């Protein structure tokens, strides 16, 4: 485990016999994960901008303390904050790296609460990411958020996702609620919040002859997003055809923001494994 300079930002680089990973301190953001003998599981935009005022396009952005455009900045400030490397250690399953983020004058100007966040990455044959949020203030506060994982896929035109539950809010259709959607294929912009999530969500990547299993905890929604061509073209940090090889499957707290009393903690996690 070393901390190195990567495109002008600090990245915790993990090289282990079971896997390799890179975690940016900017955003507390995992930007690559590659189990030994496998392709990259996580998608990182070829046009990603490593600018400390922006979120990195790809990887696992940490959306916190809110999801989406509930307030400004969009998806909260955690993904554009500088996290601190707390500790790293090894066990039989691989390497565990933890980063922390606490409130500052700047965060309290946006969101007036004291907090302690710890994000832990368990890196081995599988990847588990756990975000533990603790209320260190003297009053209760509420939050939502997401582990907004971008997955690397062969092609969005030959992809199926199952296991995310039946009902969903469709952001491309005025957030109307729909039902009956437990198998999803893609032929247009897709931005859905599955509101009764089940586990695991399975990404069937047939050309790669693999399934990616995503098991979430501490969430109340599974979000699935692909921007398709028009939106890809409008994003400076995404190639025009970038949408073809990515899909986001997110562990999200959406509907019911979680309320923490002083001293209380909540863990939001996502566990990612690959089956041939
Ligand atoms: O999780 C889906 C979503 O909220 C979409 O609506 C889309 O905007 C995406 O996240 C990316 O958001 P960003 O702020 O990173 O451009």
pLDDT in tens, 18-55: 999 999 999 999 999 999 999 899 999 999 999 999 99
**Arithmetic mean of pLDDT, 197-217:** 97
Name the pLDDT band for 247 (thresholds 50, 70, 90).
very high
The pLDDT value given to residue 16: 97
Domain segments of the chain as ranges: 2-275
CA 68 to centroid of ligand 1, rounded, Å: 7
pLDDT at 256 over 80: no
The pLDDT value given to residue 191: 98
Could you tell me which residues come within 8 angstroms of residue 110 by beta carbon, excluding any fewer than 6 positions away?
A: 71, 72, 73, 77
The pLDDT value given to residue 140: 98
Catalytic residue among 29, 88, 113, 148: 148
pLDDT in tens, 57-75: 999 999 999 999 989 999 9
3-state SS assignment for residue 33: strand
What number does CATH give the domain 2-275? 2.70.98.10
pLDDT at 182 over 90: no
Name the pLDDT band for 180 (thresholds 50, 70, 90).
confident
The pLDDT value given to residue 255: 81
In this prediction the ipTM stands at 0.98
Best substitution site from 27, 191, 233, 238 to test ligand 1's pocket, by max atoms within 8 Å of Cβ? 191
The pLDDT value given to residue 158: 98
Catalytic residue among 122, 219, 250, 254: 250
The pLDDT value given to residue 181: 74
* Nearest atom of ligand 1 to the alpha carbon of 148: 1
* Nearest atom of ligand 1 to the alpha carbon of 225: 2
The pLDDT value given to residue 200: 98
């Amino acid at each position: 485990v070393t901390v190195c300079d990567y495109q002008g930002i600090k990245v915790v680089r993990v090289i282990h016999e079971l896997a390799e990973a890179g975690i940016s301190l900017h955003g507390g953001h995992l930007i690559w994960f590659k189990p030994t003998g496998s392709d990259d599981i996580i998608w990182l935009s070829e046009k990603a901008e490593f600018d400390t005022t922006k979120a990195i396009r790809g990887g696992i952005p940490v959306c916190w303390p809110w999801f989406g455009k509930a307030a400004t900045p969009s998806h909260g400030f955690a993904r554009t904050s500088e996290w601190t490397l707390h500790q790293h250690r090894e066990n039989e399953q691989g390497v565990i790296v933890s980063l922390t983020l606490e409130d500052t004058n700047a965060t309290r100007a946006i969101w007036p609460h004291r907090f302690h966040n710890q994000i832990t990455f368990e890196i081995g044959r599988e990847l588990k990411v756990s975000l533990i949020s603790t209320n260190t203030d003297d009053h209760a506060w509420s939050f939502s958020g997401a582990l907004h994982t971008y997955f690397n896929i062969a092609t969005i035109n030959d992809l199926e996702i199952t296991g995310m539950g039946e009902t969903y809010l469709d952001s491309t259709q005025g957030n109307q609620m729909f039902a009956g959607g437990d198998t999803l294929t893609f032929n247009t912009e897709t931005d859905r919040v599955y509101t009764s999530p089940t586990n695991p969500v399975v990404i069937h990547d047939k050309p790669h002859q693999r399934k990616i299993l995503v098991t979430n905890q501490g969430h109340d929604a599974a979000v699935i997003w692909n921007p398709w061509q028009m939106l890809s073209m409008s994003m400076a940090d995404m190639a025009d055809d970038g949408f073809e090889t990515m899909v986001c499957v997110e562990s999200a707290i959406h509907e019911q923001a979680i309320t923490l009393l002083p001293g209380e903690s909540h863990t939001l996690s996502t566990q990612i494994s690959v089956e041939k």
